[in-house]
Structure 1
Amino acid sequence: MQITQFRTSQTSEITALYAHYVGTTAITFDLDPPSESQMAEKLHGLLHDGYPVLVATNDSNKLAGYAYASSYRPKRAYQHSAEVTIYVDPAAQGQGVGSALMNALIEALQAAEQFHLAIAMIADDAKASIKLHQKFGFKKVGYLPEVGRKFNKWHGVSILQRSLSKIP
């Protein structure tokens, strides 16, 4: 497996992977998947704004997952906090892809130095994601019950965060 920065040529695979999660799970609250052009605009916008966008590929150069950081909230006082997002291809789950992406994402945020906190907003249905984040030092700091509705059911969101300070 390789972790690299996102390339435009990977947009189609990323869009398809995200569409899978939109259409089959409540781990994202999007109800409609973005088009390939919308996804490309989003990912390039993140890179332009100084956020890391990473992809994991297998030995056949097929997308195994992707991760990115984004603005936690739009007000400038939040500029030192980054929200982290990771999606792993269902066929690659349990193979260390999420851990490799999380490790690389945290390292990229720490190297950028302007970031103080990493924040994750994780839907109830994403139990494995909560465990992954906790493995990397994220602590649960809040919970929003019934904040989203998808598939005719209410879903809550756990709020997790971790410091990006480099601790020797």
Structure 2
Amino acid sequence: MDTHDLSPASRPLPTLRVRPSTEADVGAIAAIYGHHVLHGTASFETEAPGEEEMRRRRADILARGLPYLVAEDGDGTVLGYAYASAYRPRAAYRNTVENSVYVRHDIIGRGIGRLLLAELIARCEALGLRQMVAVVGDSANVASVRLHEAFGFRLIGTLSAVGRKHGRWLDTVLLQRQLGEGDRTDPAEGG
């Protein structure tokens, strides 16, 4: 079969590589996220942040020592990105992160999110983090829920109608996965 006969979304992807993001990736990251903000429900933001804001957000995550990754094709084109951010600001949450994974809208469903999430989990475990939370915007985002479940995330619950976007009420689905030692006692805390 000639791959030119396939729709762009079903053509095989070239060689993919997941790597730490760089400053040069921010434009592509902003474009990917901007599309999801303006046209989707995975993010509850309603206005797409510009490159400077995305640059600031990325710098904040990196300053905390957390991973911010991109997936690129053989030509160096950024196809998606993922990062771990602090779950909550209070000190007791310091071993828990929230993940975010976004893939360019025209190539969703081709394994890029899977590659990004696998690498993000591995890097967070290497940092000694203990829990990862996924906050999936819109309970209709079944693909994201299934992706997380494939990596061992458990459904924790659904917050019904907590957001409103594109003229409809949206749920938030919460999933959680242990990392490394998980909830086993930390000897450094004396217990």
Q: Matches of 1:64 and 1:125 in 2, distance apart?
A: 23
User: Alignment partner for residue 56 of structure 2, among 20, 27, 41?
Assistant: 41
Q: Matches of 1:25 and 1:108 in 2, distance apart?
A: 28
Q: Secondary structure at the match of 1:37?
A: helix
Q: CA RMSD in A?
A: 1.2
Percent of paired sites with the same residue: 33
1:25 aligns with 2:40: yes
Letter in 2 for 1:120: A
1:50 maps to which residue? Answer: 65
Letter in 2 for 1:131: R
TM-score by length of 2: 0.84
Q: Matches of 1:12 and 1:125 in 2, distance apart?
A: 29
Post-superposition CA distance 1:38-82 (Å, at most 9, x none): 000100110110110000001121111000000111111111100
Letter in 2 for 1:87: Y
Aligned residues: 166
Give structure 2 stretches of 5+ with no counterpart: 1-15, 183-191
Query: Equivalent residues in 2 for 1:63-82 (5 A)?
Result: 63-82=78-97
Q: Matches of 2:141 and 2:76 in 1, distance apart?
A: 27
Q: Matches of 1:68 and 1:164 in 2, distance apart?
A: 15
Which structure is larger by alpha-carbon Rg, 1 or 2? Answer: 2
Post-superposition CA distance 1:76-120 (Å, at most 9, x none): 11111000000011232222111110110000000001x110000
Query: Equivalent residues in 2 for 1:1-168 (5 A)?
Result: 1-113=16-128, 115-123=129-137, 124-165=139-180
Letter in 1 for 2:150: K
The structure carrying a bigger strand percent of its residues is: 1
Q: Matches of 1:150 and 1:79 in 2, distance apart?
A: 31
Mapped contact 1:26–1:125 kept (Cα < 8 A): no
Give structure 1 stretches of 5+ with no counterpart: none
